[in-house]
């Protein structure tokens, strides 16, 4: 198969590392070759962070470049737009609708582009937007936004639901398994 690309975008501290860890676990369990390129270090906190996941029969580059992503998973509204150029024509953006103001907006030197997702939709981009924060809180923690979005992504994969659930068990600490499985379920069931 042709190598597939997934981009996980968010704000430093939102848990993109756990999302890519889960995705990596599932795809390894399914027998794919896979590469995941991450951003590490405390200095990224509050900044825009991006993780690349690529999988297929044989993966060379660990990074996703312009026009190569099948999916963009975004933990914040404008982060989806920031990396929209990475999306393949016909690719899908799955985004949390949460707004987190970046510092230039906070200090008034830039405006938050409220309607940027509509603009992308008008250009023909397929966007699945959801209030993942509310669902995460329903699951028990606002920090589970990452796993809620993974649940939504999972609907697009031909991988059994149970395989995702067991990958969660392999990925998170025992005391957080239940919370994350609940968050995953809520994300999976969102939008029917």
Partner 1 sequence: MKELMIGNAAVARGLYEAGVEVVSSYPGTPSTEITEFSATYDEIYCEWAPNEKVAMETAFGASLRGVRSACAMKHVGLNVAADPLFTLSYTGVTGGLVVCVADDPGMHSSQNEQDSRHYAIGAKVPMLEPADSAECKAFAKLAFEISEKFDTPCLLRMCTRIAHAQSVVELEERIVPEHKPYEKNPAKFIMAPANAIKRHPFVEERTKKLTEYAETAEVNRLEMGGTEIGIITSGACYQYCKEVFGDTVSILKLGMVNPLPVQKIKDFAGKVQKLYVVEELDGVIESHCRNIGVEVIGKELFTPLGEYSQKSIAEAFGLPAKETITPDTTVPVRPPVMCSGCPHRGLFYTLAKNKITVLGDIGCYTLGSAAPLCALDSTLCMGASISGLHGYNKAGKGETEHKSVCVIGDSTFMHSGMTGLANVAYNGSNSTVIILDNSITGMTGHQQNPTTGYNIKGDPATKINLEDLCHALGINRVRVVDPYNLEETEKAVKEELAVDEASVIISRRPCVLLKYVKPKKPVYVDKDKCRKCKRCMKLGCPSIHIDADGKAGIDKTLCVGCGVCEQLCPFDAIQAGE
Residues in contact with partner 1 by CB under 8 A are 11-13, 20, 24-25, 28, 33-48, 59-63, 65-68, 78-79, 81-82, 84-89, 101-113, 115-116, 119-120, 123-125, 142
Min dist. Cβ of residue 28 to partner 1 (A): 5
CB atoms within 10 A of CB 91: 20
What's the CA gap between 43 and 21, in Å, rounded?
Answer: 20
Q: Give the DSSP per-residue string, 35-65.
A: EEE---SGGGTTSEEEEEEEEESS---SS--
Min dist. Cβ of residue 160 to partner 1 (A): 20
Min dist. Cβ of residue 65 to partner 1 (A): 4
Q: Give the residue with the Cβ less far from partner 1, 11 or 144.
A: 11
Cβ–Cβ < 8 Å for 139, 182: yes
Min dist. Cβ of residue 150 to partner 1 (A): 16
Q: Give the residue with the Cβ less far from partner 1, 28 or 177.
A: 28
Q: Give the residue with the Cβ less far from partner 1, 90 or 192.
A: 90
Cβ–Cβ < 8 Å for 78, 116: yes
Cβ–Cβ < 8 Å for 56, 77: no
């Amino acid at each position: 198969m042709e190598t597939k690309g997934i981009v996980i975008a968010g704000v430093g501290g939102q848990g993109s590392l756990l999302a890519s860890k889960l995705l990596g676990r599932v795809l390894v369990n399914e027998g794919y070759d896979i590469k995941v390129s991450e951003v590490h270090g405390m200095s990224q906190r509050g900044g825009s962070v991006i993780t690349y996941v690529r999988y297929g029969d044989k993966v060379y580059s660990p990074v996703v470049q312009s026009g190569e992503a099948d999916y963009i998973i975004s933990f914040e509204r404008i982060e989806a737009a920031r990396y929209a150029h990475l999306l393949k024509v016909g690719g899908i953006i799955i985004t949390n609708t949460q707004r987190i103001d970046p510092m230039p907006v906070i200090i008034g030197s830039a405006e938050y582009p409220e309607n940027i997702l509509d603009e992308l939709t008008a250009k023909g981009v397929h966007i699945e937007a959801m209030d993942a924060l509310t669902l995460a809180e329903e699951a028990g923690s606002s920090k589970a936004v990452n796993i809620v979005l993974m649940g939504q992504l999972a609907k697009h994969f031909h991988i059994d639901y149970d395989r995702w659930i067991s990958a969660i068990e392999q990925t998170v600490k025992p005391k957080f398994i239940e919370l994350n499985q609940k968050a995953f379920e809520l994300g999976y069931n969102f939008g029917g």
